[in-house]
Amino acid sequence: MQQLYRQGDVLIKAIHGLPKQKSVKRENGILAYGEVTGHAHQIEDKAAAEVLEIENGLYLRVGEDGVRIVHEEHAPITVPAGSYEVIIQREYSPGAVRFFNVAD
């Protein structure tokens, strides 16, 4: 069964391992900024997890104690130890070939 965690427009999907390409760590721990409010989805404890940019994707590596993801307008979620792909969900409009970022 696929492990999925969602907070607003951010979907966090468990994966078996991180891509092997070179990664760049986001020192601020931010997964995504809200487009309307400027608030951010971010890891609460930067010592417990890493947010990594790899190629064109965003990934999360969580240490053995797990980590909470916080946002000013959403309830916090707890993500257990493991590797994850971070996906910013998009709004789909049937009948039109248009995609919109989900406003947070």
> In this structure, what is the dihedral angle of CA atoms 90, 99, 18, 59, given to the nearest 10 degrees?
-50
Look at strands 82-88 and 57-62 and give their pairing: antiparallel
How does pLDDT run across 21-75, given as a tens digit for each residue? 999 999 999 999 876 777 899 999 999 999 999 999 999 999 999 999 999 989 9
pTM score over 0.85: no
The residue assigned the tokens 């996906």 is 87
Query: What pLDDT digit, counting tens, does each position of 15-25 carry?
Result: 999 999 999 99
| 34-87-101 Cα angle (round to 5) | 45
Task: List the domain boundaries for the chain.
Answer: 4-101
Residues in a beta bridge with 73: none
